[in-house]
Structure 1
Amino acid sequence: MATMSQTWSILTVVTVLAVQLCIGEKSCVIWSSNGPVVQRGSSFNVYCTFNCECKRSMYSDHPPTPQKHIQFNSTTIHFNVVNITKNRTFSCECKCSHPPILDPCGLDISAGYPPDRAKNLSCIYKVLNNESGVVVCTWNRGRKTYLRNTAVLWVRTVSGSHIGTPQSYNVSSKETDSASANFTVSSSVQSISVWVQTSNLLDTVVSDTINYTLSDIAMPLTPVLWLPECSSRECVIKVEQPVGTQHLEIQYRTEKQMWTTNPDSGVKMSLVQVQPVSSLEPYRLYHFRARSKFSTGLWSQWSTNISSWTQEEAPAKELDVWFAKSDSDSKSLTVYWKDIDISIARGKIIDYIVRVTNSGLNYNISAQARNYSVPFYDNCEVTVYARNSKGLSPPARITTCFTKAEPPQDVRVTKHNPNVTISWSKPETTPLPAAYVVEWYPDGHKLEELRWVRLGGNDNHAVITGVQPFKCYEGAVYVLYDDNSMTRTSFTGVYTMESIPTAGPSVEEKVEGDAVKVNWTELPRGQRRGCITKYTIYLENSSGHQQSYSVQASERTHTFKGLSPAVYSLCMTASTAQGESPKGQKIKFVIQQHTQLLLILVCAVLFLIVVVLLCLCQSSAVKQRFWVFFQCLMLDVVPDPANSKWAKECTQEKGRMNLPPQLRNSSVTEEDEPILVDVEELPQQSSDISAPTNVSSQLLPQTSQSSETEPATLLYPLTTYIKSFSHDSDSSNHTQTSLDTNTTVGYISSHGNMEEDNQEEVEEAAEEEFAEVLGFFPSHNVFMEPLVLGGKLTLDAVKIDCGNFFQNS
C-alpha cells in the first residue's frame, strides 16, 4: 500500500516537473514521501528535483533555514524529517550567476492526528408539546487532531413496525471538547438509533450505534415560577409548565444554607400548579427553584431562582448584655450588647431601648449603636430591649450591685497564636454558678473595645479570638449566681506576639526649687509592641554621671528631690518582656542655688536703700523732718521735760519763764535783758481740736551767748502745742511753730524780734530743698504746726503729740 502511494507521488511530481520545464517558471519540483499531510510523530523524506545545473540548496521553516540535504541523484536531493511535531514548510532553490534566474519551489506539510471515535454519546428527548419534541445528542470529540474534522450524526427512527432510513445531521464545527446535534421527532416515534461518523485528511472513523426508547429519555421543559406570597413561616409557590407532568420538585434555601427539598404533594397533571413551602424562618430572604418530570424519563432542568422575604416576628430571645464602669466617672454606667443574630431578631431592628428601673428613665438608642452610658444609681437594675416592627425582645437585665461571692480560682492564661485560652478552677462553693463571663480588652481601652463571652456554669475555660499581635490585653473572669451575687478575678499581660518597643516615651519636666517633677504619657499603641512591664528614667548631670531609675508600668509621673545645683539631662525608655526600647527624646533642665541668689538680691536692695538714705541725709530739711518722724516713733522713750536742767531753772520763778529773745542776727550780748512771757498751762486736747487748719512755719536762727567762744545752744524744750501770749499785748493769739535748721525745734517765738520776710524766705527755701530731695513727701508741710501758748506754762503739761504728723502725711 505504501509502495503504491510513493509510486503515485513520484508520478505526480514527474508530471508537474514536465509541465514546469515546459513553462520554464520554477527551478525545481518538491514533494514529500508521505504527502502534504502527515501524522505527528512520523518520519519521512522531502525531495527536490532540479532542472538547472547551478548551486542547489534546501531550506525549512520561516525565515528559511538551510538544511543539510543528501544527494539522491544528479538532479534530485532529499532531506530526512524525523518525528515531526508541528506544521512545517520546506523549499528548494537553484542559484545561478547567468540567466535565466528561476524561482524556488516550496511545500507546506500539515502534521496532525487521525480523529478519535465519538465517546459518551447520549441523547435527551425534550417534549415541546403533546405532538412533537426535539432530540438533542451530545458526545466527546476525543483528542485534538490539529486538522480540520467533519462529523455527521446518523439517526434511524422506529415508529411501530416501521423502520426509517438513516438520516444524517451536520454537527457544529466549533473546536470544543464536546459536540452536539439535534433533530425533531413526532410523538409517534417510539425509539431511535444514533451513531457518529468523524473524518479528516488522515482517516475516517465511526462510533458505536446506541438505541434509545424515547419515553426513557423524555424530559419536560423547564418550569416557570411566579413571585411567591409569603407569611412569616410559609411561602406559596405558583408553577407554570407547557406540558402537564406527574412530578414537581421545589427547593429553597437562604443565602448561606444548602438547598432543602419541599415534600412532593402528589400527582398533578395541570399546567399550573400551586405548592406551599412551609417550615420557614421569619424575616429571611429565601431563594426558590423547581423542576418537573413525567412518570418516566428525566427531570427537567432547574428553573431560574426567584427570591422573597418572609414576614417579621417579635425578637425571640433576650440580648447578650454586659456592662462596664468608667474609672473617671463613678456616676455613670456603660451598657454593652452584641449584634443580634437574624434568627433571634426575626426582623429588622428599629432601635434599642435601655431602661433604668429604679429611676424610671427610658432611652431609645439607634439601631447602629452597641453601647450606651446611663446614670448610675445604687441598687438599680438596667434592662435592655431590641425592637422591630412586630414588638420587643424579652428583657435582658443587668443588676449593677452584686453581693460578694467566692471568686474563680487559679485563673491561667495560655497563649497559642492567634488565640488565647483563659482557664480557671470552679469555686469551692455549694451552689453551682449560673454563668461565667470572660471579658477582655486592649490595655487602657476598656470602654472603647470591650469584648466578652458568656458561658455556662459547668464551663471552666474560654478561647478568646481576635487577639491582635503586638498588642497587650487585660480582662477578668466573672462568676455569676442565681441570687445576684457576683465576683471576679482579673488577669493582665495577655498577648500573642511581642517584641521590643520601637521608641521611648515623650517627657515633660517641671522644676520646683531643688526638685523636678517628670511627667510622661503612654506610648502610642503602635509603638508598644506588646505589654509594657516597666519604664526606666536616665538622669545625667553636667559632669557626665548617669543614674537610672525603674518605674512601674502603671505610673505616669516621678519626682526627683534634693538635686544639687547643676545642668541635668533626662530621657526615658519602655520595656517589654522582650527587652528595652531605644531612649526617647532627651530634655535638659537647670537646678539653681537659690540661697546664694537670694543673699545677693538682699544685699543689693540694702545697698540701694543705704545709698538713697545717704543722699537724702545731705539735705538739712530732710534731716529735720526725719528727726521729727523718729521722735514720733519713739513715744515710749521720750525724756520727761520736767526733769531737764532747763525746767528746773524755769521753776525758780513761779509762773514766769526767762526766755532769751530770738534775734535777727546770729549773735546776742550777755547784757540783753530776757523777755518774760506769761505761760498758761492748757488741758490736753485731742489732735482734732489742737491742730489748727492754717499752718505757718517759722525758722528761728540759732542764738549764742558768745559769738566767739560758745556754740549755739537750744533755747527751748521740744514740744508741739504751746499757746504764747506777748507780755506787751495780751490780745495777741498768733500761733507759731518754729524749726531750727540744725534740727532744733523752738516752742516759743519772741515777740517782735523776727522779721516776717526773713521767716518766709527761710521756710520756702527749706521746702524747695526738701521737695527736690524727697519728692514723695506731701506738698504741704506736715511738720510746721503752729505753737499755741496761753496761760502759765508748766513743764509737766508739755507733751509731744505725733497724731497730726501721721494725719497730715
Structure 2
Amino acid sequence: MFSKRRWLVQVVYTLLFTTFGDSLVQMCGHIYPESPVILPIGSSFTAFCVLYDTCPYYDKVHANQIFWKTKNVIVPKEQYHIINQTVSSITFNDTSTLISPLTCNILVEGNIEQNIYGIQIQLGYPPEKPENVSCIVIQLEKKKIVKRCTWEPGRNTYLKTNYTLKSAWSNTNFPDCIPEDVNNSCTSFDDVTFFVRLYVWVEAKNYLGEVNSSHIAFFPEDYVKPLPPRNLFLNSREFPTVLRLSWENQFNEPPLKLKYKIRYRSADSTNWAEVPPEDTESERTSFTIQDLHPFTKYIFQISCAVSGMSRYWSDWSKEVIGFTAEDKPSKGPAVWRKITTHSSESWTLELNWKMNPSEVNGIILMYEVTVSRRPPFSLPIEVTHLNTTETKLILNVKNGMYEAKVTAYNKAGKSPTTVLLIPATNSKAPVKNIIAFPKDDKLWVNWTAPKDPVIKYIIEWYEECDSLNCSTDWQQEPGTKQGTFLKGDIKPFKCYKITVYPLYANGQGEERSTQTYLQQDVPANGPTVRTKKVGKSEVLLEWKPLSFEEQNGFIKFYTISYKTVTGNETVVRVNSSESEYPLSALSKDTLYIVQMAAYTEKGGKSGPAFTFTTKKFANGEIEAIVVPVCLAVLLSILLGVLFCFSKRDFIKKHIWPNVPDPSKSVIAQWSPQTPSKHFNSKEHIYPEGSFTDVSVVEIDADDKKSFSETDLKPFDMLKKEKNASEGHSSGIGGSSCMSSPRQSVSDSDEGEPAQNTSSTVQYSTVVPNGYRDQIPAVQVFPRSESTQPLLDSEERPEDQQVLGSDSSTPRRHYFKQNGNWNDVAAEGSNLEKLTQISPINEEDAAGLQASQTWHSGPETDEQGAALAGVFRPSPEGPTVQLEAMGANTGTDDEVSKSYLPQTVRQGGYMPQ
C-alpha cells in the first residue's frame, strides 16, 4: 500500500513528466516509433509501448494494465496486443481517424490515471505533380526585365512541401528558383536571353514523397509584358471632331517592335470606346482619333505589346484629358408651350425650350425667338433675343394660327430653327392606348401612333401634388417612335401624370394622359374617418381621400372595421372611389369604435380610431309621440271649455253668483254736503241732536218663542222692506260712510260662504221725527259704521219665511235705545222708524213680490207704506214691537225705504 506521502510524490512526478518530459525526471516507459510520426492519410499504423523495469516510483506493472488514448479518447481494447509483460502494441488500420497525440497510460493506487509516454502524429499527403507551368517576361523598369513562372501545385498536402523552379538550355542548367512566400510562382532576376529555347519544370518534395512537373519549351520573346507608354498628350488642332494623341515608349529591345491599343470616353460616360486594332499595328508614337463630339471633354488611355506572337499586353497607361473644339449646334432647341386662357379671344402664351447637351456643341450665347401668324400673313409679331429658355406673349386667337420659331447661337454659328405651331384648338388626331410602367428602374411610356404621319411627339409629365404649382418637365421624341423612357429625375413612391402630344406639319393633335408610379409602397397614413349623420340604427361615415404625398401608390380599396366596446369586430370593404359609406343594423344608444384603412398593391395602413354613439330615438320618433299627446291634451281642454260654456249658468250660480254693484246703489248718489240735492225741503232733514243712541242686541233662537204672533208681524214687514231695498244697496264693500270695506268671497282667507261674508257690512236709513210725513224725493241711504253681522234673516233668505218657525234658526239681532227696549215711541224719540237691511239677491226680490205678510187687505200691495219700529219690553223677556208709520199718498217714486239703524251718533251724520 502506498502511504500518503508516496501518493503525493507520485502526483508531483506525473505533473513534472507531463510538463518537462524526460529531461528532468526518469521515464518509466517509451513508445516506438519515436515522435514526430508523419503518416499518409488513410494508411495503417502500429505503435509499441515498452515499460521499464527500473522505474522507482511505483510497483511492478504488467503490460496488460496499459491502455491507449488518442488525445482524450480511450482507444478500444480490440486494437490492443500484449506482446509480453512489458510491451503492449496498438494498430490503426485507417489513420484518417487518428488524432494526435497518442499516449499509453496505466492506473495507479487510488485509481489515478498515470501517463507513461506520448508521441505526436502528423498526417498528410505526398505532393502531386505540378500542372500548367507557364512563364512570362516582365519589364519592371526601362532596363530591367525578369522571368516569372507560375504553376498549379495540386491538392493540399497538410505537410511542409518544397517547390523548386528549374530551367535548362540545351545541356546547360540555369540556377534554381526557390519561391519565398508562395508555392505556386517564382521570379528569376537573372538576365533574360531572347531568341533561345528554354526548358522549364517544377520539382515538389515533402516527407512523404517527391515529384516533378512536365517540361515546357519557353521562348522569352513570345511572353514579354512591356511597360505602358508614358507622357501622353492630346491636341485638338481646332477641329471639333478630331484629337491627336502622342506618347513615349518605355520598351526598347531591338529587333522587337510594339503594337498598341487606344481607348477613350467622354467625361460624363462610363463606357469606353476603342480604336480598331488593325489601325495601330505599326510602330508609332502618336495617333489621330476622329469622329469625336464637338466641345466635349474626353479621357484617353493606351497599352502596348510586342508584335508577333506576344500573348501579354502592358497595363493601361495613366489617363490623359483633352477637349474637342466648338461647333455650331447640331439641332435646334426642343420647344413647348403653356397656354393660359384669359378670354375666348385672348391667350397668354408661355414658350419653353431646351437643348440636349450633346447637341449644343459649345456654349449658347443667345436664343432668337420669333412669333408670327401663319402664311399668308407671316409678318412677325415679335422678334426677341434672349439668353433664357422661356418667354411670355399675349396672342389674339381671332387672328388664327400662330407659329413660334426658336434658333440657338454659339461661338461657331447657329442651330437649325425649330418651328412650333400654336393652333386655336388641338384639332388633329391623338395617340391611342397610352400606357406607362416601370422598366429597368425607369419609367417607360408606350403609345400607338395615329394614322397620319407625325413629325415629333412631346411627352410632358409632372409629379401629382395637392398644390396648384406642380413642377412640369417634358421631352421631345422623333415621330417614328412609339415608346421611350422618361429622362427626368423620376422618384419612387410618387405619382406621375404623363401626357403625349403628337405634332403634325399643319397642327397639333389632342393630348392623351395616364398616371403611373415608378415604385409603390403602403400608404404613409390611413384615412381619418368621421360621422356625417348619426341615427338610431344607422350612421353615415365620411372621410377625406389621402393626399398624393400620403398615398405612395394607387389606392385599390378601403376597409372599414367597427365594433362595440365588448362586441365582435365587423369589417366591410369599400371602393376606392367612395368618400362616404353608410353603416346599418346598429344598436341604439350604443358606443361604437370605427377605424379605416387604405390599401395599395403593397399593403394597407390604418388611420386613427374614431368613436360615435347612436341615438336613443330615431329622427321624428319623439315628434310622433309628443304631437299626438299634445293634440289630445288640447282637445281635452277644448272639450272642457265647451262643456263649461254650455253649463255656464249652472256654474255661475254655484261658483260666482251675481252680486249687486254698490256703485249703482242710490246711496252712492247721496252726499251730506248737498242735502238740498235730494230733498224738497230747504231745511236740513236731519237736524243736529235729533238722534238718540242706538244699540244692537243679540237674541238666541230660543227666545223667539217669547214673542207673540202680533210682535212677529212687524218682522214679516221688515223682510219685505229688506227685499225691496236690496236692489238699491249692495253688500260688497266700498262704503260712503267710512266703514270698513266688505270682504268679498274671492278675497276671504277663511273661505267663508258668500252669505256670511256679505253680512259684515250693514246699511241703515234714519228719518228725523220732525218730518214724519215727508218722504225725500231721492232716497238716501247713509251707511253705518257698525261691523256687526246682519240679521240671520238677511244672511239666509231661506229662513225668512216665518220668524221663529224653525228651532234651528240662529240668534237674531235686536236694538235698544238709551238702555230701554220699550220707550222709544212714548218718549218722543226722533226716530220715526228704525230698521236694518242686508243686501238681497234676485231670488229675494222675487220673493218680495210674492210676499203677502204685511196685511190681509189691499194695503199690502200699495207702494209707499212706512214702517216705524217701536221697542217695548215684554213680560216674558226682551221683545221687539214694530210700529207702522203712516204712509203718504204719493207716487211710487216717493216710496220710502226703511232700514234698521246700527250705530248712529247724535248731532248728525258721519262724514262721507
Aligned to 1:179: 185
Aligned to 2:211: 205
2:429 is matched with which residue? 407
Q: Which residue of 2 aligns with 1:257?
A: 271
Residue number among 299, 303, 320 corresponding to 1:286 in the alignment = 299
Q: Is the 8 A contact 2:338 2:350 kept in 1?
A: yes
The residue number in structure 1 matching 2:244 is: 235
Instruction: Note closer, same or farther for the CA distance 1:151–1:414 as it changes in structure 2 (3 Å cut).
Output: closer
Matches within 5 A, 1:148-167: 148-158=160-170, 163-164=171-172, 166-167=173-174
Q: How far has the Cα of 1:386 moved from its partner?
A: 6.6
Native 8 Å contact 2:301 2:320 kept in 1: yes
Seen in structure 2, the aligned counterparts of structure 1 residues 112 and 439 have a Cα distance that, compared at 3 Å, is: same
CA RMSD in angstroms, aligned pairs only = 5.7
Deviation of 1:555 (Å): 11
**Aligned twin of 2:75:** 67
After superposition, the C-alpha distances for 1:732-771 in whole angstroms (9 at most, x for unaligned) are xxxxxxxxxxxxxxxxxxxxxxxxxxxxxxxxxxxxxxxx
- 1:195 Cα deviation from its structure 2 partner: 1.9
TM-score by length of 2: 0.47
Quickly say closer, same or farther: Cα 1:381–1:188, change in 2 above 3 A. Answer: closer
> How far apart are the structure 1 equivalents of 2:276 and 2:243?
12
Which residue of structure 1 aligns with residue 472 of structure 2? 450
Task: Report the CA distance shift for 1:324/1:496 in structure 2 as closer, same or farther (over 3 A).
Answer: farther
SS in structure 1 of the partner of residue 157 of structure 2:
coil
Counterpart of 2:548 in structure 1 is: 525
State the partner residue of 1:8. none
Letter in 2 for 1:73: I
> CA-to-partner distance for each residue in 1:328-380, whole Å, 9 max, x for gaps?
99976555566x65533445x67885857445555544xxxxx8574554576
Give the residue type in structure 2 aligned to 1:27.
Answer: C
In 1, are the aligned partners of 2:437 and 2:516 still within 8 Å (CA)? no
- The Cα shift of 1:524 comes to 2.2
Q: Which has the higher mean CA deviation after the structures are superposed, 203-212 or 375-384?
A: 375-384
Partner in structure 2 of residue 144 of structure 1: 156
Q: What is the rounded CA distance, in whole Å, between the counterparts of 1:209 and 1:493 in structure 2?
A: 68
1:322 aligns with 2:323: no
Is 1:170 the counterpart of 2:183? The answer is no
Which of 316, 338, 343 does residue 358 from structure 2 map onto?
343
Could you tell me which residue of structure 2 aligns to residue 50 of structure 1?
51
Once the two structures are TM-superposed, the CA of residue 37 in structure 1 deviates from its matched residue by: 0.9
Tell me the equivalent position of 1:437: 458
Aligned to 2:839: none
Q: Is structure 2 residue 450 aligned with structure 1 residue 426?
A: yes
The answer (yes or no) to whether the contact 2:366–2:385 under 8 Å persists in 1 is: no
Describe the shift of the 1:184–1:470 C-alpha distance in structure 2 as closer, same or farther (beyond 3 A).
closer
Say if 1:216 and 1:85 are closer, same or farther in 2 by CA, change over 3 A: farther
> 1: CA distance between counterparts of 2:469 and 2:143?
75
Query: Aligned partner of 1:40: which letter?
Result: I
- Are 1:246 and 2:268 matched, yes or no? no
Matches of 1:402 and 1:49 in 2, distance apart? 117
CA contact (8 A) 1:41 1:84 kept: yes
In structure 2, distance between residues paired with 1:416 and 1:127: 52
Identity %: 18
* Distance of 1:393 and 1:217 partners within structure 2: 54
Are the equivalent residues in 1 in contact too, given 2:464–2:497 (CA < 8 A)? yes
Q: Is the 8 A contact 1:220 1:243 kept in 2?
A: no
- Report the alpha carbon displacement of residue 148 of structure 1 after superposing the two structures with TM: 1.0
Which residue in 1 is equivalent to 2:128?
Answer: 116
Q: Deviations over 1:483-538 (max 9, x none)?
A: 244433455699986989954469999xxxxxxxx99976322434555799999x
Distance 1:411 1:26 in 2: 98
Amino acid at match of 2:202: V
Q: Whole-Å Cα distance in 1 between the matches of residues 297 and 36 of structure 2? A: 70
Q: How does 1:477-516 map to 2 (within 5 A)?
A: 477-490=500-513, 503-504=526-527
Measured after TM superposition, the shift of residue 185 of structure 1 is 3.8
1:36 CA displacement:
0.9
Q: What is the rounded CA distance, in whole Å, between the counterparts of 1:552 and 1:186 in structure 2?
A: 82
Shift of 1:201: 0.6
**Counterpart position of 1:92:** 104
In structure 1, give the amino acid aligned to 2:246.
I
Q: Residues 104 and 135 from structure 1, CA distance in 2 versus in 1: closer, same or farther, beyond 3 angstroms?
A: same
1:275 matched to 2:287? The reply is: yes
Q: Whole-Å Cα distance in 2 between the matches of residues 521 and 356 of structure 1?
A: 48
What corresponds to 1:593 in structure 2?
Answer: none
Partners of 1:294 and 1:185 in 2: how far apart? 21
Alignment partner of 2:190: what SS?
strand
Instruction: Assess if the C-alpha contact under 8 Å between 2:68 and 2:103 holds in 1.
Output: yes
CA spacing shift, 1:48–1:389, aligned 2, 3 Å: farther
Q: 1:138 and 1:375 mapped to 2: Cα distance?
A: 77
- Secondary structure of the 1:343 match is helix
The C-alpha deviation readout for 1:413-432, integer Å capped at 9, x for no partner, is 587889676544625xxx63
Q: Is the CA contact (8 Å cut-off) linking 2:365 and 2:409 kept in structure 1?
A: yes
CA distance in 2, matches of 1:356, 1:132: 70
Query: What letter corresponds to residue 274 of structure 2 in structure 1?
Result: T
User: Residues of 2 paired with 1:572 and 1:331: CA distance?
Assistant: 49
Q: Please tell me whether the aligned partners of residues 383 and 396 of structure 1 are also in contact (alpha carbons under 8 angstroms).
A: yes
User: In the alignment, what sits opposite 2:875?
Assistant: none
- Aligned with 1:169: secondary structure? coil
Gaps of at least 5 residues in structure 2 are 1-20, 53-59, 372-380, 533-540, 561-573, 581-591, 614-912
The alpha-carbon distance between structure 1 residues 489 and 392, as it changes in their structure 2 partners (threshold 3 A), is same
1:450 deviates by: 3.4
**Separation in structure 2 between the aligned mates of residue 320 and residue 442 of structure 1, nearest angstrom:** 21
